[in-house]
Structure 1
Amino acid sequence: MWPYILKRILMMIPTLLGVLTLTFVVIQFVPGGPVEQLMLQLKGRGGGGVGVQGMEASGAGSDYRGRRGVDPQQIAQIRALYGFDKPPLQRYWLMLKRFARFDLGQSYYQHQSVWSLIKSKLPVSISLGLWTFFLTYLISVPLGIAKAVRAGSRFDFATSLLVLTGYAIPGFVLGVLLLVLFGGGTFWQLFPLRGLTSDDWDQLSLVGKVLDYLWHMVLPVTASVIGSFAVTTMLTKNAFLDEIRKQYVLTARAKGLPERRVLWKHVFRNAMIPLVTGFPSAFIGAFFTSSLLIETLFSLDGLGLLSYDSVLRRDYPVVLGTLYLFTLIGLVTKLISDLCYVLVDPRIQFERLER
């Protein structure tokens, strides 16, 4: 297994370089970069935006000469401020050197390191991600088992209709509906409209803080989790049905074993292999795949909103830094998922599969 792990790790390097290189090349041709945006601020004010203040703090000045536009010397200072005075190839190598040290750089507009921005947004993404992950598996796995045992029954048909209906409804549409019904839109004001906590959260007791947090999470988590039930439920059901029809199950029943023992001791272990091996990807992915529309709808400032704003504002260090981090985490998680196959089923040998 160790040669396989080493080979996968070595394959991560060109994959990661390919993603970063492609993104860096695309960035070179995207109009409206930080230099152009700062020049527009200078023309439109005289100055006063965040970028202008950052330029003044760096000593670049902010004089605007009316119809003659921005002084060429100032343009050169602006390009140097953002590092665009260097050739693209040199900037590319400098970026790779920083990333090799896990230095993600500094944001152009928020005057913070990319690491600080990611850490500040993580609580929102972790809250949405963990609740979505745990509720999905806690509900979908038992429901899928029950559907497999009662395959073809009215219960199977009714639950399939419900989970597929939830899957067909986009999360942001469901979120709007929940706000209208329970957020004080038209009917009942049972839950808050925005945020993770109330304004007086610091003044609450420990129990009050927990209840306030849960109260705020009901609507966004509901909007996020409903669409996740269908895939896990149907995967569990189909995996159990495949195992139930195998010869070893018929043999166990023929020996007179109780149906409960056959189901939970023999079928359960084999049927759960595809679900267990997907745990690492689902668990890690839950932190970074929260819906941008859900975050916007419920005013939750998470990683999705950070990435979206960074693309719109051409905040390239944040775009490239978050892309590098998320891609690296995705590649490592994929490797862990593959290794989980061996832990769950020791009969799998990667060396034999490669031959």
Structure 2
Amino acid sequence: MFAYIVKRLLLMLPTLLGVLFITFVVTQFVPGGPVEQYIAESRRGAGAGAGGEVGGYRGGQGVDAKKIAEIKKLYGFDKPAPERFLKMVGDFATFDLGRSFFQNKSVWQLIVEKLPVSVSLGLWTFFISYFVAVPLGVAKAVRAGTRFDFVTTLIVLLGYAIPGFVLGVLLLVVFGGQLQWFPLRGLTSANWSELGWGARIADYLWHITLPVFAMVIGSFAVTTMLTKNSFLEEIRKQYVLTARAKGLAERRVLWKHVFRNALIPIVTGFPSAFIGAFFAGSLLIETLFSLDGLGLLSYESVIRRDYPVVMGTLYFFTLIGLVTKLISDLAYVWVDPRVKFD
């Protein structure tokens, strides 16, 4: 086990470097970088500041070469690309993600500021999905082929087929606009800090209901059907027939014998599903409900060519993903000791 963990940790290094290298190379060829955006803003500012034809003439003059050189030095683009990449890797090795070009904050500070929104969406999505999908999958396996199985399959697949963003728009229009039962944007109200603890919790749940529902409705199908199929596979095995032949109660057979073995593929996916719920698929929901989270931060940094934020958040997400994958693999041994990595 120890040798396997060390091997996986060593393999993370080239994987992480490869992801950073490919992204860094791509950013070098994307037009409209931070220097170009700064120059464009300077031209617009010069044109708007003078006013009239003179303002248009001054904006058309552009920025002189000396100023451009100063801007490149400010953003670190005065150095060759290989040198910049090596410096970035060295900083990332000490977990120094740099500072944003446009927000005058460190990347770590931005991540910490946006993390509560993503954590809120991720935690609620993860727990609601599993607490509903797993019991539903067990019930479907026990009642396989019945009307209950058919109707619930139709419902979960219908929810899976509807994109979360489309469902979010529908929820906003109906429950936020027409009925006005829920707020249209934000994670809390403007006066949240002035409320008592009970009112704060109620206000938070009031705001989080629609975005969580839009995210969670499509995640039922995979977990539900996986649970059902795992249970059906275990129910048909010989040890279940033996347990029933011994006269054990059906409930004892299902929950003590079948349940433990059937949940192996589900439990081992907990770490990746738990982390993935924080960062995956929340961009459109955050944008739609005006939730300032990590998904929206990553998107805006790409649009504005804020390369330190792009590379820093990518490094953060990739590192978490690699560690989570390792934990998922180790969970196999924890759940099923028969698994051997050698």
Amino acid at match of 2:276: G
Amino acid at match of 1:91: R
Shift of the 66–228 alpha-carbon distance from structure 1 to 2, 3 Å rule, reads closer
Hey, what does 1:248 align to over in structure 2? 239
Amino acid at match of 1:225: V
Tell me whether 39-48 or 64-73 shows the greater mean CA deviation. Answer: 64-73
Map 1:135-146 onto structure 2 (within 5 A): 135-146=128-139
Tell me whether 279-288 or 98-107 shows the greater mean CA deviation. Answer: 279-288
Amino acid at match of 1:97: G
Q: 1:328 aligned to 2:319?
A: yes
Output the CA distance in 1 between the equivalents of 2:103 and 2:169: 30
Output the CA distance in 1 between the equivalents of 2:67 and 2:205: 51
Output the CA distance in 1 between the equivalents of 2:326 and 2:245: 40
Shift of the 254–298 alpha-carbon distance from structure 1 to 2, 3 Å rule, reads same
Amino acid at match of 2:28: Q
Q: Is the 8 A contact 1:65 1:71 kept in 2?
A: no
Output the CA distance in 2 between the equivalents of 1:77 and 1:65: 20
Hey, what does 1:3 align to over in structure 2? 3
Hey, what does 1:167 align to over in structure 2? 160
Superposition TM-score, scaled by structure 2 size: 0.96
Amino acid at match of 1:38: Y
Tell me whether 113-122 or 284-293 shows the greater mean CA deviation. Answer: 284-293
Runs of 4+ aligned structure 1 residues displaced above 2 Å come to 64-69
Hey, what does 1:12 align to over in structure 2? 12
Pick aligned residue for 1:131 from 124, 133, 152:
124
Q: 1:308 aligned to 2:299?
A: yes
Amino acid at match of 2:98: G
Cα offset, 1:69, TM superposition: 2.5
SS in structure 1 at match of 2:218: helix
Output the CA distance in 2 between the equivalents of 1:141 and 1:127: 21
Pick aligned residue for 2:142 from 145, 149, 154:
149
Amino acid at match of 2:160: Y
Q: 1:276 aligned to 2:267?
A: yes
Hey, what does 1:114 align to over in structure 2? 107
SS in structure 2 at match of 1:98: helix
Q: Is the 8 A contact 1:148 1:237 kept in 2?
A: yes
Q: 1:298 aligned to 2:293?
A: no
Cα offset, 1:48, TM superposition: 9.2
Output the CA distance in 1 between the equivalents of 2:130 and 2:304: 37
Superposition TM-score, scaled by structure 1 size: 0.92
Q: Is the 8 A contact 2:47 2:59 kept in 1?
A: no
Q: After superposition, give the CA deviation of every residue in 1:69-123 in whole Å (9 maximum; x if it has no partner).
A: 2111111000000000000010011000000000000000000000000000011
SS in structure 2 at match of 1:84: coil
Hey, what does 1:75 align to over in structure 2? 68
Hey, what does 1:58 align to over in structure 2? none
SS in structure 2 at match of 1:109: coil
Tell me whether 259-268 or 277-286 shows the greater mean CA deviation. Answer: 277-286
Cα offset, 1:12, TM superposition: 0.5
Hey, what does 1:92 align to over in structure 2? 85
Output the CA distance in 2 between the equivalents of 1:315 and 1:272: 43
Hey, what does 1:204 align to over in structure 2? 195
Shift of the 67–268 alpha-carbon distance from structure 1 to 2, 3 Å rule, reads closer
Hey, what does 1:52 align to over in structure 2? none
Output the CA distance in 2 between the equivalents of 1:298 and 1:2: 45
Output the CA distance in 1 between the equivalents of 2:197 and 2:163: 35
Q: Is the 8 A contact 1:129 1:290 kept in 2?
A: no
CA RMSD across the alignment: 1.4
Hey, what does 2:227 align to over in structure 1? 236
SS in structure 1 at match of 2:219: helix
Output the CA distance in 1 between the equivalents of 2:109 and 2:61: 39
Long gaps (5+) in structure 2? 50-56
Shift of the 158–67 alpha-carbon distance from structure 1 to 2, 3 Å rule, reads closer
Output the CA distance in 1 between the equivalents of 2:129 and 2:269: 13
Output the CA distance in 2 between the equivalents of 1:180 and 1:112: 36
Cα offset, 1:287, TM superposition: 1.6
Pick aligned residue for 2:96 from 94, 99, 103:
103
SS in structure 2 at match of 1:45: helix
Output the CA distance in 2 between the equivalents of 1:97 and 1:308: 25
SS in structure 2 at match of 1:137: helix
Hey, what does 1:30 align to over in structure 2? 30
Pick aligned residue for 1:194 from 185, 192, 213:
185
Q: Is the 8 A contact 1:201 1:212 kept in 2?
A: yes
Q: Is the 8 A contact 1:280 1:336 kept in 2?
A: yes
Q: Is the 8 A contact 1:41 1:47 kept in 2?
A: no
Q: 1:259 aligned to 2:258?
A: no
Amino acid at match of 2:2: W
Hey, what does 1:158 align to over in structure 2? 151
Output the CA distance in 2 between the equivalents of 1:28 and 1:279: 37
Amino acid at match of 2:217: I
SS in structure 1 at match of 2:46: coil
Output the CA distance in 2 between the equivalents of 1:235 and 1:229: 10
